Amino acid sequence: MKRTLIRTALAALTGTATVAALGIIGAQSASAHGYTDSPTSRQLLCANGTVTNCGPIQWEPQSVEGPDGFPAGGPADGQICAGGNQAFAPLDNPRGGNWPAQNLVAGANHQFSWVFTAPHSTSKFEYFITNNNYNPLEPLTRAMLEPQPFAVVPFQGQPPFRYTHTSQLPTNKQGRHLILAVWTVADTPNAFYACHDVIFGDDNGGGGPEPEPPACEAPAWSSGTVYLGGDTVSHQGVEYRARWWTQGEEPGTGGEWGVWQPVGDCDEPAAPAFTTMAFGSS
């Protein structure tokens, strides 16, 4: 009798957990995702290959999601462009001020464009711009931004998969700046963030050459070594992280869902040169 009661209770608990899990899965699948493509956002520059060594954001530019309520709330200073996501930290890296920048005209009207992979009920779109304290050599902070957005676009309902609106750019801006776009979702406590490097006035807009990748810090991959999940290696100019136990599986050959997850490009040290020695005859 006791065993029957226990089995009944376990079955009830299992059913409840299954329903809860399905509810969570459903909520995740309905969550919003999107990014800006005008101006060109940092996450899009990573996704289209213009900028390399970006990490996971290159595969999911639509996922820069963080707490809403910016600037009173939201991501911490220095983590704003990544929405507070450590996995997307390369978006906060100033790269020596060399992010490719788009030329804009101060005071002109601009068509801001969003691409949604999962559009969702929306509250508003906001656009902030850096002030005269902006330093493109440092990660973005609130102190670098004007206190109020230069454009606020209220929105009720769910936007289409591509949404474009026209807003006036701020006046009296010159040189390199950063525009922060914030898309606030209506029925969750989250928002999506996108940073855009722009130049007002005369400049080639290129932002300088792409910085050299950092030196490889992870040890070189060895076919005879056993690697555990989380171990990192470098191989042919790329650093990888193991998803699970592996041995003998060459990084870069397993496809997107293989054991080795690319972390970013790195600069491998040159092989030592061989010195030819001349020996005289006795």
pLDDT tens track for 80-121: 999 999 999 999 999 999 999 999 999 999 999 999 887 778
Q: How many domains does the chain have?
A: 2
Among 180, 179, 159, 197, CA closest to 33 = 159
Confidence check: pLDDT of 270 > 60: no
Q: What is the CATH number of the domain that holds 237?
A: 2.10.10.20
State the number of CA atoms in the 13 A half-sphere of 81 facing the CB. 30
Domain hosting 236: range is 212-270
Average pLDDT over residues 13-37: 47
| Residue where a domain stops, chosen among 145, 172, 200 | 200
Residues 36, 162, single domain; the answer is yes
**Residue-wise pLDDT tens digits, 48-83:** 999 998 999 999 999 999 999 999 999 999 999 999
Whether residue 127 is contained in a domain is answered as yes
Q: What is the pLDDT of residue 240?
A: 84
DSSP state letter for 73: S
Residues 112, 132, single domain; the answer is yes
213 Cβ contact partners less than 8 Å away, ≥ 6 residues apart: 52, 53, 237, 264, 265, 266, 267
Residues 136, 238, single domain; the answer is no
Whether residue 240 is contained in a domain is answered as yes
Higher pLDDT, 89 or 240: 89
DSSP state letter for 134: -
Rounded distance between C-alpha atoms, residue 271 and residue 253, angstroms: 23
Residues 64, 128, single domain; the answer is yes
Residues 57, 118, single domain; the answer is yes
Task: Calculate the alpha carbon distances from 216 to 47, 233, 243, 270, 282 in Å.
Answer: 22, 9, 19, 11, 46
Q: What is the pLDDT of residue 261?
A: 77
Report the DSSP beta bridge partners of residue 167. 110
Rounded distance between C-alpha atoms, residue 180 and residue 192, angstroms: 10
Average pLDDT over residues 136-158: 95
CB 263 within 8 A of CB 252: no
| Residue where a domain stops, chosen among 176, 200, 224 | 200
Q: Where residue 34 falls among pLDDT bands split at 50, 70, 90? A: confident
**Residue-wise pLDDT tens digits, 6-23:** 444 444 444 433 333 333
Whether residue 5 is contained in a domain is answered as no
77 Cβ contact partners less than 8 Å away, ≥ 6 residues apart: 139, 140, 141, 142, 143
Whether residue 279 is contained in a domain is answered as no
Whether residue 10 is contained in a domain is answered as no
Residues 67, 172, single domain; the answer is yes
| Residue where a domain stops, chosen among 166, 200, 234 | 200
Q: Where residue 269 falls among pLDDT bands split at 50, 70, 90? A: low
Residues 168, 141, single domain; the answer is yes
Q: Cis link prior to 100 (omega < 30° from 0)?
A: no
Higher pLDDT, 46 or 269: 46
Q: What is the CATH number of the domain that holds 102?
A: 2.70.50.50
Higher pLDDT, 46 or 255: 46
**Residue-wise pLDDT tens digits, 215-232:** 788 899 999 999 998 888
Rounded distance between C-alpha atoms, residue 60 and residue 57, angstroms: 5
| Residue carrying structure tokens 């902070």 | 141
248 Cβ contact partners less than 8 Å away, ≥ 6 residues apart: 223, 224
Please tell me the pTM assigned to this model: 0.63
Q: 1-24: string of b/e by CB count within 10 Å (b at 16+)? A: eeeeeeeeeeeeeeeeeeeeeeee
Residues 234, 117, single domain; the answer is no
Share the mean pLDDT of the chain: 81
- The token duo for 160 is 């289409």
